[in-house]
Chains A and B, each alone.
Chain A
């Protein structure tokens, strides 16, 4: 039964990757990265049980957390970029 979930997760990861490659906007790509991250968390949780080593769930937890920080870093990047662009525009005028 774990296999079903694993396959579904893997396929979804593939679909998310396609979305990341297609874009079109950068936000779509960030969305795809985020989605891939959460799917990886699910995948690892399931595989930890598939392998019979539930003590490896720590990894899934770490992934979840890293993923969140990654997305926020991207947002901060957007924000500071917007500020810089505004400032440059202001400086030009």
Chain B
């Protein structure tokens, strides 16, 4: 049982690390703000779930798990909120998504 949990948590951790990394690469390589934001925010949430879930399995049933759960909940609430707010602020300020960027360049800074 414990070996199973261990393996499962390792898998989760590895996947989490991978998705975090993908998010990082995406944020660097994507062509414009909105696609970068997409890469960053999706993997932010997924990575957080996987990594914190993996650690939770390692920690077992303890106070630490509750704290981890709180952190996870917090991240899941705030991270998409920040992304949304940022995107809306950028859009209102006149940053156009990549699709129409061909007409007016990168948009104002």
Q: Please report A residues at the B interface, Cβ cutoff 8 Å.
A: 1-2, 4-5, 7-9, 11-16, 18-19, 23-28, 30-32, 34-35, 38-39, 41-42, 45-46, 49, 54-55, 57-58, 60-61, 64-65, 67-68, 71-72, 75, 78-79, 82
Q: Is the interface of B mostly helix, strand, loop or mixed?
A: helix
Interface size class of B (residues with CB under 8 A): 35 or more
Whether the Cβ atoms of B55 and A68 lie closer than 8 Å is no
Asked if A38 and B93 sit within 8 Å, CB to CB, the answer is no
Output the least CB separation between A39 and chain B (Å): 7
Tell which of B55, B85, B106 touches A72, judged by Cβ atoms closer than 8 Å. Answer: B85
Q: How far is the CA of A61 from the CA of B107 in the complex (A)?
A: 36
Total A-B pairs in contact (CB under 8 Å)?
148
B15 to chain A, nearest CB (A): 10
- Check B21 against A25 for contact (C-beta < 8 Å): no
B59-A19 in contact (CB<8A):
no
B51 to chain A, nearest CB (A): 5
Tell me which residues across on chain B come within 8 A of A72, comparing CB atoms. Answer: 82, 85
In the assembled complex, how far is the CB of residue B55 from the closest CB belonging to chain A, in whole angstroms?
A: 6
CA distance A42 to B55 in the complex (A): 10
- Seed contacts A8-B16, A11-B24; 19 additional CB < 8 Å A-B pairs: A1-B9, A1-B10, A8-B17, A14-B24, A25-B33, A25-B106, A25-B108, A31-B40, A35-B24, A41-B71, A45-B51, A46-B51, A57-B71, A60-B71, A61-B67, A64-B75, A67-B82, A68-B78, A75-B89
